[in-house]
Amino acid sequence: MGRRKIEMEMVKDSSSRQVTFSKRRTGLFKKANELATLCGAQVAIVVFSPGGKPFSFGHPSVEAVTQRFLNQDEKPKVSISGQVGSQQQAKVENLSQQLNDLLKQIQEEKKRGEMLDKAIKASGKHKCQKPVNKLSLDELLQMKQSMEELREKLKGRVSEIEASSSLLLLSNNGVKEADPDN
């Protein structure tokens, strides 16, 4: 079915309207959070449900943004908390970057797995096309040899992964020890 254009008009059914409100509110708050995170913007949103219940989202808080909006003629106040906030912001940005890198790696591995599945299917090297109890002695010996080769390859790959994770762990520990904040 997919997405389709929805005419902008009030939803007639009250229960459908409430569901639509909840979904749209969640999407709106997510977008506001992304805007605040990616651009460093200060954002405040206040919405009222069809039943009259207020919902709000603010970054850093609704109160801080509204006070800044109401007092925009005044000069901004500089405080020590601003310095702490920038340090926290830098840590958040660093963690966000790490998360994005890990998500990219996951996507790449999924694509790689899909390509490997396609390659296996295309090569037709399914040794186990028939049940094991129906294989001949030669086929069983060939399967045993293939499994032993696979085991050796896996052992080598596990060793590579362990070595790279050890190096990564050592490099992360070195960074943490050099970081005066931790």
Q: If you write DSSP's letter for every residue of 85-132 in order, what string do you get?
A: HHHHHHHHHHHHHHHHHHHHHHHHHHHHHHHHHHHHHHHT--TTSS-G
Whether 80 contacts 74, CB under 8 Å:
no
Q: How long a stretch of residues is the chain? A: 182
Residue with more model confidence, 178 or 55: 55
Whether 32 contacts 45, CB under 8 Å:
yes
Domain 14-70 has CATH 3.40.1810.10: yes
Q: What is the C-alpha separation between 63 and 72, in angstroms, rounded?
A: 14
pLDDT of residue 21: 92
pLDDT of residue 81: 47
- Phi then psi dihedrals of residue 44, to 5 deg: -140, 130
Decide: helix, strand or coil at residue 54: strand
Domain ranges in the chain are: 14-70, 82-124, 135-182
Residue with more model confidence, 178 or 144: 144
Burial of 44 (0-12, 13-18, 19+ CB in 10 A): buried
pLDDT of residue 78: 45
Residue 80 has pLDDT above 60, yes or no: no
Query: Which H or E run contains 45?
Result: strand 43-48
pLDDT of residue 27: 92
In the chain, the largest separation of any two C-alpha atoms, in whole Å, equals: 89
